[in-house]
Amino acid sequence: MAYELSVFLENKIAHFEKITALLKASSINIRSLTLTGMNHGWGILNILVDQPEKAYQVLTDKGHAATLQELIALEMKDETGGLDELLVKISRSGIHVENAYTRLIAESKLAILLIEVPDVLEAKRRLEINHVSILDDKIVYGK
């Protein structure tokens, strides 16, 4: 199963770079990320890395507020309408998406939609019933 690492980050020069430097020093590869600014100078950095548990340990050991969140990774067509087609299947499965982003693996031309949902187990069950395949984490992390 895929995991996203979320880091509470102060919006100041070099704070983002401190996170990437720690990951680099620990040989952790960032596969995808989103950075969301919030009010009062703070934000959330959501990152997909190839070693999420190790990344979590590295960052929390250095005093960074971080969490691991299980995600569902779904393959989508890398063409016009590919995302829409997959979202229709997700909606028909009755799944509410709280957060989402994509990852493209150029070597294999694989497009991935990563979704955060309120109940991962129930969402997996519904996706399986509706014949929507969930990707293995090794594919997601590019291992």
Domain of residue 118, residue span:
71-141
Written as one string, the DSSP assignment of the chain is: -EEEEEEEEE-STTHHHHHHHHHHHTT--EEEEEEEE-GGGEEEEEEEES-HHHHHHHHHHTT--EEEEEEEEEEE-SSTTHHHHHHHHHHHTTPPPSEEEEEEEGGGTEEEEEEE-S-HHHHHHHHHHTT-PBPPHHHHHT-
Give me the pLDDT at residue 36, please: 86
Are residues 64 and 87 located together in one domain of the fold? no
Q: Give the mean pLDDT of the chain.
A: 92
pLDDT at 12 exceeding the cut of 90: no
Are residues 57 and 91 located together in one domain of the fold? no
Give me the pLDDT at residue 11, please: 79
- Residue 61 pLDDT class (50, 70, 90 cuts): very high
Are residues 78 and 134 located together in one domain of the fold? yes
Given 69, 88, 108, the domain boundary residue is: 69
Average pLDDT on 22-44 reads: 89
Average pLDDT on 41-63 reads: 94
For residue 41, give the CATH number of its domain. Answer: 3.30.2130.10
pLDDT at 56 exceeding the cut of 90: yes
